[in-house]
Amino acid sequence: MDDQLTRKRAIIETMPTVLGYVGIGITVGIVGRASGLTVLEVLLMSMITYGGSVQFVIISMIIKHSELLPIILATFLVNARMILISMSVAPYLEKESVFKNILLGSLLTDETYVLSMNKINYTKKRLNFEWLNISNLIAYFTWAIASLTGALIGDYVGTPQKFGLDFALVAMFIGLLYLQIISEREIKMMLQLLVVLFTLLAIYIGLIFIPANILILLVTILGCFFGVIMKNVFF
């Protein structure tokens, strides 16, 4: 990464994350077709709902013939973390219009969020609409095309896990986390590693008692509190 916030840099810096979208997107398409959804329904779900983990939840609820309201509530709950993510990006886009901020927040993903947090380490805490919008659009259309591809080949692929597609997103986030740690210039590495360790332990212990979808939001909040306290008290 560098300090340029141009379309060209956005394309170059976002492309390494594409494989993660492709792997999970294809898996969503395959699972959707195996669950009885049509190719068009899979594509529309990816373009309208646009959320990896929540689409698996929706598919499982459709299979169980759940009512519409529980599906909507589950979708909101799983994606509630995006409210916190969008709020943390907003201060770096104060010069952009309200409409542009709404557009950016609507298409923001976990991956483009992490890219943004990496980018501000090189731009003196600056972001702009051009850079983030291109990054978001690459993610959006890659996800849609990948899920469409998965739906089209769904009848010919039995179990996507045998190809390792289910690990693609995990591998991508490991890489993004590494880049965030080594590029952060203001927060000491020891503090970052402590927050990562705290998060891992909280997830590991929390999964014993709390549903995964709720746990993600809870650990996000607890991780933020832990990081702030550690920074102000010990660092």
Where helices occur in 64-126 by DSSP H, the ranges are: 68-78, 81-89, 98-107, 110-119
Residues 116 and 196 in one domain: no
Tell whether 66 and 86 lie within a shared domain.
Answer: yes
Is 178 in the same domain as 204?
Answer: no
Lowest mean pLDDT among 21-30, 158-167, 204-213: 158-167
> 133 is written with which tokens?
């919008």
Question: Is the pLDDT score of 113 beyond 60?
Answer: yes
- What does R_g of the chain's alpha carbons equal in angstroms? 18
Q: How many Å apart are CA 163 and CA 157, to the nearest integer?
A: 10
Note whether 141 and 191 are same-domain residues. no
53 lies in the same domain as 76: yes
Give the pLDDT of residue 171: 67
For the ranges 30-34, 63-67, 213-217, the lowest mean pLDDT is seen at 213-217
Tell me the per-residue pLDDT of 120-142, one tens digit each, with 9 for 90 and over.
Answer: 988 888 899 999 999 999 999 99
Rounded to 5°, angle at Cα 96 from 76 and 145: 50
Question: How far apart, in whole angstroms, are the C-alpha atoms of residue 99 and residue 183?
Answer: 31
Its domain, for residue 209, covers 187-235
Asked if the structure places residue 22 within a domain, the reply is: yes
Instruction: State the first-to-last Cα distance of the chain, in angstroms, to the nearest integer.
Output: 27
- Residue 89 token pair: 């990006």
Number of domains in the chain: 2
- Least confident range from 185-189, 197-201, 217-221: namely 185-189
Distance CA 155, CA 167 (A): 21
pTM score of the predicted model: 0.73
Mean confidence (pLDDT) of the chain: 84
Say if residues 215 and 78 touch (Cβ distance below 8 Å): no
Position 225: which residue type?
F
The pLDDT of residue 164 is: 59
Residue 2 maps to a domain? no
Reported as a single tens digit per residue, the pLDDT across 135-192 is 999 999 999 999 999 999 877 765 655 565 556 556 656 766 776 676 666 678 888 8
CA–CA separation, 135 and 131 (whole Å): 6
Residues 73-105 have pLDDT tens digits of 878 877 877 888 888 899 999 889 999 999 999
38 and 121, same domain (yes or no): yes
Domain boundary among 185, 205, 222: 185
36 assigned to some structural domain: yes
Final residue before a domain boundary, out of 185, 203, 222: 185
CA 36 to chain centre: 26
User: Is 44:166 a contact under the CB 8 Å cutoff?
Assistant: no
pLDDT reported for residue 161: 58
Question: Within 10 Å of residue 8's Cβ, how many Cβ atoms?
Answer: 10
With respect to residue 1, please indicate whether it lies within any of the assigned structural domains.
no
